[in-house]
Structure 1
Amino acid sequence: MTVLVPALDPASPACAQNRSAMLERLAEVEAAHARAVAGGGEKYTARHRARGRLTARERVELLVDPDTPFLELSPLAAWGTDHAVGASLVTGIGVVEGTECVVTANDPTVRGGASNPWTLKKALRANEIALANRLPLISLVESGGADLPSQKDVFIPGGALFRDLTRLSAAGIPTVTVVLGNSTAGGAYVPGMSDHVVMVKEQAKVFLGGPPLVRMATGEESDDESLGGAEMHARVSGLADHFAVDEADALRQARRVVARLNHRRAHAAPAAFDPPLHDAEDLLGIVPGDLKAPFDPREVLARIVDGSDFDEFKPLYGPSLVTGWARLHGYPVGVLANARGVLFSAESQKAAQFVQLANQRDIPLVFLHNTTGYMVGRDYEQGGIVKHGAMMINAVANSTVPHLSVLLGASYGAGHYGMCGRAFDPRFLFTWPSAKSAVMGPQQLAGVLSLVARASAEAKGRTYDEDADATLRAMVEQQIEAESLPMFLSGRLYDDGVIDPRDTRTVLGLCLSAVHNAPVRGVRGGFGVFRM
């Protein structure tokens, strides 16, 4: 039988303790997300509504099909920075007229929707997702342009936004822009480079230079409407393809544009699938509060894969890495999940072979992280851990089937790379509130710095200051601990969101549906040189 039989007792004291710790972390994430949803706060939201306008999330809700999920991406962008949580932009994947689309919406209640460096990173990530998965891109625009105090970090890299729009169009991926307010200066090129443009009467403003700039540059007197109003662009310049009388009409027209795109998925969605046999609620109690304590990832798989059915590959070889085949929301997947943290040579070789098999079969890969990295020590170095770890990293780096990564626990060192961390371009990467990621654990990193400082003092013949050492170690541990936490990483867009463990199956299912809009095809023999 390949149906997983969990050993976890949800009623045990250990599970209760783990659940309590997870819920505490989830509360912190939910509080941060509430700050993003609040946008600029009550004052600016009220002022925005007084102008008869909808908020960013209300616009998204009107755009997407009723009673369909919207997978919000990077909701905690800019967390821990001087900028508002959410980075004044809402992004995600939603269904519009039966078609999965990437949607972006400026939040005009936050500094007029101006783009800061984190807004830019978030928008570029959304464009990347649209291109990789061949999803139409719908931009709901109301932005004051670049946030001027941070223009040095926005202007030059910001050109990639326009590059992306043209590349999406050239690749046959539709781009739709709905202008609901300002889209001026460089922002004017967003509708200018989109396939389809909808503008709202007496709200849309699209021009390279506003009245003051025009007066300064040419001496010409003009007004917003004659320079860049929706009616002018619909009747005179031709920039507007559709003229809307209000926001609701604009979003209705955008839906009709999508309905006529004739955009087709590369792979049909599965007709039916079985739910897991075990309760997703149990996922809260699996990961220990102390990540040094191991946990069995099969307990997670039993609660997220179809029918809790999992065919394990090489179960007796390299046992600290679980590999195998399953289905998730009807889609076939290969799974790589860390069981006891450390990756040895056997696990690395097993992973490399498994990734090759998935590419031969055109099967997407799901990586479940809980690793402290590759094993170190004289015996392991002599046994070839460097070349074996490199085999795994080589295979993952050159694999062309879609990769989905979820950080459950630790994700340290090169193990983060081998398990397809952000730098290895997974199609999507999400984090549980229990996860941590850094070059190594806080205690280990502080200890290494201490040993280096001690050796330096000895080499110079100086007496080592033990008190200063203790202070340094404490400071370093505190810093690394803070910088390895999920919200810190999510704030810098090193993931696509921190998710409730109970939502893991749903999130992965939505992602698998998205990736199957594009052809799923593995590499055939293009892995480069494997050192044997």
Structure 2
Amino acid sequence: MAVLNSLLDTSSETYISNRKNQLEVVAALDEQLDLVVAGGGERYMQRHRDRGKLPVRERLALLLDPDSPFLELSPLAAWGTDFTVGASILTGIGVVSGVECVVIGHDPTVRGGAMNPYSLRKTLRALEIARLNRLPVINLVESGGADLPTQVDLFVPAGRIFHELTELSSMAIPTVALVFGNSTAGGAYVPGMCDYAVLVDRGAKVFLGGPPLVKMATGETADDESLGGAEMHSRVSGLSDYFATDERDAIRLGREIVSRFHWRKLGPPPSAHAPEPLYDPEEILGIVPPDTKVPFDPREVLARTVDGSEFDEYKPLYGTSLVTGWASIHGYPVGVLANHRGVLFSEEAKKATEFILLANQTDTPLIFLQNTTGYMVGTDYEQGGIIKDGAKMINAVTNSAVPHLTVNMASSFGAGNYGMSGRAYDPRLMFAWPGAKLAVMGAAQLAGVMSIVGRASAESQGKPFDDEADAARTRAIEAQIEAESHSFYISGKLYDDGIVDPRDTRTVLGMSLSAVHSNTVAGRRGFGVFRM
């Protein structure tokens, strides 16, 4: 396979300027991630410890295999809202007793671990990832239930959690609940619907209605232990499968349970030969311009991401605004589609379609590296069939059965987001770089379109056009779209699975590929009708 030859000049002013900007946006990301790790803050963290309890991230550290990686998902959920960033829950993919599992852990230092609309979305996405990729699920349970002021946005959709848990069980994908504290009302069904339930003595409280509700509903006076304690559920109700003496014992039992899954991946193993890239991933920071309108060559990114910097490019002289080709990442064969100069023309759409079909014929997962302004517009392109060609590409993406992994490197605008396997097209996992933008179009373009439409409307009605008001409106719209297309805002709404440092792209893709190979990796042999 051909080896990529980097032309990057690390001493140039452009490289130094790009790197400086990227270090700033990475620092801003790290600042937000520090807030996520802090949970409810020092006061509530200390109160939690004073009760003899471990913080959720310490529970996670004890659960995972020593020195094994953890791919955290949706860490910026609820960013930019009134809820704590991270949405009071920790989710991700980690290795437990040698088995890759999805872990879902409540953070009781944030409003008692209560579930708000964003923690619900985060939980459902984690369960979806488990189902699609055939990954066992471990719940670290300690939650006060629903955030009651937002119950109107929780009650109906939250039932999907129970649906997902029972569906996973029906698919022979194991589910485990380690209950450290409150698991009340609807939350009581989490250990009730998991395949295995471990309850901590004098810690777990699993009941549909706590003592106050029981008193109000029936007049009965009851205590936590008789209603839902670990010993009662272990000796009397039978809800508990394992009685843990303390939190560490519960985690030990959880690891033992997983070790008895006798888990086997269905996808092919990676190659034993997975050489590091020839070029330093650190240099990726100097490749990406701060202005998303300025293109960059994705081959420079691939040279610092794929095994041995080896890349077998497909149709290199045709449809050159899209780079396609074959490579491997951490020993896993992949096909890559990476935007070069942003715009997708008919040639790029047809090239992508053919490439996706080939990947499905050879059961090869696809990596989409987004940096696109969308499909080309204009009279010549419309007459040339850009709609039909774009439809071919989107058809191929939609019906492709091999795993898709997507990274928004810089911009993802318009239908280009769809054609490059955006969130609506079910990539197994999707990430973004911290400087990336996502919207129907760029802020200036959108504001300009609104201005043109407003001027045309005024002319058609014979009304004078207020240029001063239009300029103010244009500035306001640009500011709004800039804010709403920011990577933190997008990730906060869970339109991706997390923002990653560009330097970690190879590692994140490698962990993701390992996870998706827990399930069968097979392409589609028959597609729908392609518009010719």
TM tier, smaller: over 0.9
Matched residue, 1:44: 44
1:326-365 aligned within 5 A: 326-365=327-366
CA distance in 1, matches of 2:440, 2:39: 33
Task: Check if 1:31 corresponds to 2:31.
Answer: yes
Matched residue, 1:464: 465
CA distance in 1, matches of 2:483, 2:215: 51
Q: Contact conserved, 1:19 with 1:285, CA < 8 A, in 2?
A: yes
Q: Offset at 1:268? A: 4.8
CA distance in 1, matches of 2:178, 2:67: 22
CA distance in 2, matches of 1:495, 1:481: 18
Cα deviation code 1:169-193 (max 9, x no counterpart): 0000000000000001010000000
Matched residue, 1:215: 215
Q: Offset at 1:219? A: 1.9
Secondary structure of the 2:468 match is helix
Matched residue, 1:397: 398
Task: Give the residue type in structure 2 aligned to 1:89.
Answer: I
Matched residue, 1:68: 68
CA distance in 2, matches of 1:272, 1:81: 46
Q: Contact conserved, 2:268 with 2:521, CA < 8 A, in 1?
A: no
Matched residue, 2:148: 148
Matched residue, 2:384: 383
Q: Offset at 1:290? A: 1.1
Cα deviation code 1:102-140 (max 9, x no counterpart): 001000000000000000000000000100010000000
Q: Offset at 1:220? A: 1.7
Q: Contact conserved, 2:177 with 2:197, CA < 8 A, in 1?
A: yes
Q: Contact conserved, 1:287 with 1:434, CA < 8 A, in 2?
A: no
Give the gaps of 5 or more residues in structure 2: none
Q: Offset at 1:327? A: 0.5
Matched residue, 1:165: 165
Cα deviation code 1:24-53 (max 9, x no counterpart): 111111111111111101111111010010
Cα deviation code 1:132-173 (max 9, x no counterpart): 010000000000000001111011100000000000000000
Task: Give the residue type in structure 1 aligned to 2:207.
Answer: F
CA distance in 2, matches of 1:187, 1:397: 35
Matched residue, 1:237: 237
Cα deviation code 1:216-261 (max 9, x no counterpart): 2222221100010000001111111111111011001000000011
CA distance in 2, matches of 1:470, 1:447: 10
CA distance in 2, matches of 1:72, 1:9: 33
Cα deviation code 1:379-414 (max 9, x no counterpart): 000000000000000000110100000000111000
Secondary structure of the 1:497 match is coil
Matched residue, 1:324: 325
Cα deviation code 1:197-225 (max 9, x no counterpart): 00000000001111121122222221100
CA distance in 2, matches of 1:268, 1:296: 31
Q: Contact conserved, 2:78 with 2:84, CA < 8 A, in 1?
A: yes
Matched residue, 1:294: 295
Matched residue, 2:261: 261
Cα deviation code 1:497-531 (max 9, x no counterpart): 11001100000000000000000011111x21100
Secondary structure of the 2:292 match is coil
CA distance in 2, matches of 1:373, 1:492: 22
Task: Give the residue type in structure 1 aligned to 2:309.
Answer: S
CA distance in 1, matches of 2:57, 2:319: 47
**Divergent runs of 4+, >2 A:** 267-272
Q: Contact conserved, 2:33 with 2:75, CA < 8 A, in 1?
A: yes
Task: Give the residue type in structure 2 aligned to 1:85.
Answer: V
Cα deviation code 1:40-97 (max 9, x no counterpart): 0111111101001011111100000000001100000000011000000000000000
CA distance in 2, matches of 1:272, 1:90: 34
After TM superposition, the score normalised by the length of structure 1 is: 0.99
CA distance in 2, matches of 1:344, 1:216: 66
Task: Give the residue type in structure 2 aligned to 1:325.
Answer: W
1:301-316 aligned within 5 A: 301-316=302-317
Cα deviation code 1:479-506 (max 9, x no counterpart): 0011111000000001111100110000
Give the gaps of 5 or more residues in structure 1: none
Q: Contact conserved, 1:77 with 1:118, CA < 8 A, in 2?
A: yes
Q: Offset at 1:269? A: 3.2
Q: Contact conserved, 2:73 with 2:92, CA < 8 A, in 1?
A: yes
Q: Contact conserved, 1:333 with 1:366, CA < 8 A, in 2?
A: yes
Task: Give the residue type in structure 2 aligned to 1:56.
Answer: V
| 206-215 or 14-23: bigger deviation | 206-215
Matched residue, 1:89: 89
Matched residue, 2:443: 442
Matched residue, 1:477: 478
Matched residue, 1:489: 490
Task: Give the residue type in structure 2 aligned to 1:209.
Answer: G
CA distance in 1, matches of 2:180, 2:467: 62
CA distance in 2, matches of 1:272, 1:239: 47
CA distance in 2, matches of 1:342, 1:349: 14
Cα deviation code 1:454-485 (max 9, x no counterpart): 01111111111110011011000010011111
Q: Contact conserved, 2:116 with 2:146, CA < 8 A, in 1?
A: yes
CA distance in 2, matches of 1:217, 1:439: 51
CA distance in 2, matches of 1:320, 1:397: 21
Q: Offset at 1:267? A: 2.8
CA distance in 1, matches of 2:181, 2:268: 37
1:88-127 aligned within 5 A: 88-127=88-127
CA distance in 1, matches of 2:162, 2:388: 41
CA distance in 1, matches of 2:211, 2:505: 50
CA distance in 1, matches of 2:263, 2:196: 14
CA distance in 2, matches of 1:272, 1:226: 58
Secondary structure of the 2:205 match is coil
Structure 1 vs Structure 2: percent identity of aligned residues?
Answer: 66
Task: Give the residue type in structure 2 aligned to 1:190.
Answer: V
Q: Contact conserved, 1:201 with 1:229, CA < 8 A, in 2?
A: yes
Secondary structure of the 2:140 match is strand
Secondary structure of the 1:206 match is strand
CA distance in 2, matches of 1:266, 1:418: 28
Secondary structure of the 2:207 match is coil
Aligned residues: 531
